[in-house]
Amino acid sequence: MTHPFELSQEIEFGATPEQVWDAIATGPGVDSWFMGRTELGTSVGGPADLTMPGHTEKATITAYEPGTRLVTRGAEAPDGRFMAIEYLIEGRGGGTTVLRIVQNGMLGDDWETEFEAMKAGWPIYLETLKQYLTYFTGRTPSVTTAFRPGAGGPDTIWKIVTESLDVTPDVAEGDAVRLPDGSAGVVYYANLPVNLGVRTDEGLYRFIHSGTDRGDVLVLGHQNFAGRDEQAAWDGWVAERFG
C-alpha cells in the first residue's frame, strides 16, 4: 500500500543564484555535493538520472526555469511509488541566495522508515552543498561512493569511523580530524551516530549510517577536488575496517 509524503528543506548560501543553479541543475554541479553520478538534461523531458554502484535511478525533468526552478520526477514503480523533487532558488540582498527543496510523492509499506531516513539525510547534503559553494565552487570532483551492508549497529560503526579519524565518538563540528591517508581535516557536520562530514584542503568526505529494513549500512560519499581518484583506497579501507 502506498502513502503520500512531502518533505521541505531550506538553506541560505553566501553565493549568487547563478552559482546555486549550476550546483543543482548540472551533472558536475550535483556530483560536487550529492552521492554517485548525476546526469541532467537542459530542458523539460530531459534526463535526471542518478547512478550509484550497480544501479541507476531513472528520472525526468518536468520543469526547467534557468536560475530559479527545477523539478524532477522519478520513474513510477508498478505499485505506484515515485518521488519528485522541486528546487526553488531566490536571490536575497547582500549577495546571498536561498534554496528551498520540496520532495514529495508516494512511498511503500515501510514509508515511515523511508521518510525518517530522508528527513535525517537532507541536512548533511545541504551543508555539503554550502561547503562546496564556499570552498570549491566551480571545481569538478573525483567522486567516491561506497556501501557496506551489515557494518554493525550505529555505535559500532561510529566507533570504527571515529577511531579511523583519530577522534573520539563525541566529536563535534569544528573539531580537527585526520583521514586514514594522513590528510588533515575539520568536521563541518556532526550528527552522531547518523552522519559525519569532514572538509580537507582537497575535498569533502561524508560517513553515513543508514538504518533500513534490510539492516544497518555504512555509506561513504566523498568528493576530491584535486583530481585524485580515491575509490580504490576507500574500498580498501571499508574492507579492512568492516571485514
Task: Report the C-alpha gap between 171 and 192 in whole angstroms.
Answer: 8
DSSP 135: I
Query: How many domains, the chain?
Result: 2
Do residues 127 and 198 share a domain?
no
Per cent of the chain over pLDDT 70 is: 98
Query: pLDDT at residue 214 above 60?
Result: no
Q: Can you give the pTM of this predicted structure?
A: 0.93
Do residues 192 and 222 share a domain?
yes
pLDDT tens sequence across 20-39 = 999 999 999 999 999 999 99
Do residues 198 and 78 share a domain?
no
Residue 121: the pLDDT is 78
Higher pLDDT, 118 or 180: 180
> Which of these three, 136, 153, 176, is where a domain ends?
136
Reduced DSSP (H G I as helix, E B as strand, rest coil) percent helix, strand, coil of the chain, to 5: 25, 45, 30
Do residues 126 and 219 share a domain?
no
For the segment 171-195, the average pLDDT, to the nearest whole number, is 95
3-state secondary structure of 229: coil
> Which of these three, 136, 169, 188, is where a domain ends?
136
Do residues 68 and 175 share a domain?
no
**Residue 86 domain boundaries:** 3-136
Place 128 in a pLDDT band, splitting at 50, 70 and 90: very high
Do residues 214 and 176 share a domain?
yes
Do residues 130 and 161 share a domain?
no
pLDDT tens sequence across 60-106 = 999 999 999 999 999 999 988 899 999 999 999 888 999 999 999 88
CB 196 within 8 A of CB 209: no
- What residue has cell string 527543496? 101
In this structure, what C-alpha cell is assigned to residue 171?
566529536
**CATH number of residue 96's parent domain:** 3.30.530.20
Give which of 128, 104, 115 is closest to 195, Cα–Cα: 128
In whole numbers, what is the pLDDT of the chain averaged over residues?
93
CB 192 within 8 A of CB 177: no
CB 187 within 8 A of CB 169: no
For the segment 198-220, the average pLDDT, to the nearest whole number, is 87
pLDDT tens sequence across 149-170 = 988 888 899 999 999 999 999 9
In this structure, what C-alpha cell is assigned to residue 61?
525533468
Residue 117: the pLDDT is 75
> Which of these three, 112, 136, 160, is where a domain ends?
136
Do residues 132 and 146 share a domain?
no
In this structure, what C-alpha cell is assigned to residue 77?
514503480
* Cβ within 8 Å of residue 86, ≥6 positions away: 63, 69, 70, 71, 101, 102, 103, 104
- What residue has cell string 539525510? 121
Residue 212: the pLDDT is 58
